[in-house]
Every structure is written in C-alpha cells, then in structure tokens.
Amino acid sequence: MSELLNNLRLRFTEHLRTSGRAYATVIAYSKDVEQIIQFLAEKGKTNPSDVAAEDIEEFKELLKKQRYTGKSISRKINSIKSFFRFLIAENMLTENPAEIIVHPKYDLVPPRVLSKLEYRALRDACRSDVRIYAIVEVLLQTGMRISELSALQLSEIDLERNVILIKAQNSRESRKVPLNAAAKLALEEYLKVRPRAREKTVFLTKTCRPFLVRNIRTAIDRYFRLAGIKEGRVNDLRHTFIIEQLKAGTPLVYVSQLVGHKRITTTEKYLKLIEAPDMNPSVRIEEL
C-alpha cells in the first residue's frame, strides 16, 4: 500500500472524526478509502495525482464482480468522492477524479417494522433477563438509537419527571424524550439489580464496563432468535416506534423531534408504510 496515500487516509479519517461525523460513518469511510488505496497500489499508483476517473470506474466494476450490493458500492463511491474533496481542500489536488463517477441504481429496502405479535414475543423471550428487557423496552418506547442508549448516563434519566435527556452526539443535537410507564418500570427493575460501580453509564456488563453497541446487538439478536423472529434487528425497534406513533396520530414534526431526525423528510418516508393513517393532530405517546 502507498505510504503517502495511507497517511492521507489517516488524515482524512481524523478530519471526519473532528468534524463530528458519526463513529460508524468514520469507520466505514476510512475502510472504503483503504480498500481503493490497496486497489490503486496493485496498479502501481501511489500518488493522488496519478489517479484518474478510469481507475475509480474500474474499481467500481471490480466491486460488482465481487458481488457487493448496489447500496454498498454507492456508499464506497461517496467515501471516495469525500476523500478526494478533502485532498482538494488540503491543496493536494486541483480536480476530483471521482466527481464524474455515477452511483449504481439500487432498490431501497423499506424499514422493517415489528408486528404486535413479534414485539410481544420478543418481550416474552427476554423477560427473565432484566437488563436486556429494560434495553428492549427503552428502545421500543422511546425510539432512541442504539448508540444513544449505549452512551446513556444515570444523570440523564429523570424518573420523577418521566423524561430522558439524550445528549448531543456527533453532529446530532441534544433532545428530551418522554419516558412512559412501561419503559420506566423496566428501567426501575433493572436499576435495582444494576451492579454498584463508579461507572455512570446506565447499562453495564457483568464486569461493570459500559455495554457496547456491538454487544447489545449480539444480545438482542439472540433473543430475536429465541422469539422465533426471522431477520429481526435492533433497529427494527426504532422503526416500530416511529410507525406506531404516526399510526396513533402523533404529529409528524413531533415524531421527527422525538427520534432526532435532522430532516423531516426522513420521517415522512415512514408514512408510506402506513396503509390508512389516522392523523389526528393531538399529541399522544402511546405505550406499545
């Protein structure tokens, strides 16, 4: 691998990190750029000025042969375009060779929403695991992201006012979400058995360390399997919250604020999943 290009990749990664990009985005973009740098090295191209649009197009065709999905290829192209824009900003290049590269067409898979039978089955499957039950209930009843739940601190839960403060994370603004009776009860039961530790993160491992996102995913995936829910994922809980709120008539703008969408158009996409919405303008945060 080209030492020059790899050093530039590291600088690009740090730039993304300090710009407040989401952790997952930083990792994905960095790996995507590393992948094309390795491809370029095999072609004997070790300097940014050596790279032409034809090289990136050839890389794109290779990804297709390797059976990457259209969505994955599109993201990699975004990563590469961003990398070369960064090099231009750093006065390493004057033109972006990736600018004319066209994204592949692909069908967007709609968000998966759990049926009542499914999320009740999931609850039943993990009910004996107080920690996981609380995690599932909080995700389902608040619509927060798994990364937000993993980072949640004890001081950010107000059981008297029934509200959770979600602090600003990466490029996202802070917000408050209501804590309904179901989620509150599940949290209270967990906090009774939560290990006594100096660590202020709400959800801990048995060794009193913060319960990381990947470990939460693995744990909940296991309960999806135990519940007999095929292809269930943690993000389905967030999708389900959004859909249920819209179906209950909670105003679109308020739902968008609750789940921390930057653009209301992101929330609007969920309306397509509702066959006959009753958009009553009253604000209701129903328990699922």
**CATH of span 3-89:** 1.10.150.130
Residue 284 has pLDDT above 70, yes or no: no
As a whole number, the mean pLDDT across the chain is 90
What pLDDT score does 288 carry?
67
How many other C-beta atoms lie within 10 A of the C-beta of residue 79? 23
For position 285, what pLDDT does the model report?
Answer: 46
Q: Express as a percent the part of the chain with pLDDT over 70.
A: 94
How confident is the model at residue 1, as a pLDDT?
A: 64
pLDDT digits (tens, 9 = 90+) for 21-75: 777 889 999 999 999 999 999 999 989 999 999 999 999 999 999 999 998 999 9
Answering whether pTM is above 0.75, one says no
Cα–Cα nearest to 140, from 100, 187, 93 = 187
Short-list 46, 45, 12, CA closest to 29: 12
Superfamily (CATH) of domain 116-273: Intergrase catalytic core (1.10.443.10)
DSSP sequence for 64-78 = HHTT--HHHHHHHHH
132 vs 137: CA distance, rounded Å: 8
pLDDT score recorded for residue 173 = 87
What pLDDT is recorded for position 57?
96
pLDDT at 281: 36
Locate 105 and state its tokens.
Answer: 């067409």
pLDDT in tens, 180-229: 999 999 999 999 999 888 899 999 998 999 999 999 999 999 999 999 99
Specify the residue for token string 């004057």.
94
Q: Select the more confidently predicted residue: 286 or 23.
A: 23
Q: What is the pLDDT of residue 30?
A: 95
Distance in angstroms (rounded) separating the CA atoms of residues 237 and 149: 12
Determine contact, residues 288/141, Cβ cutoff 8 Å. Answer: yes
Question: In the chain, where are the structural domains located?
Answer: 3-89, 116-273
Residue 155 in this model has a pLDDT that exceeds 70: yes
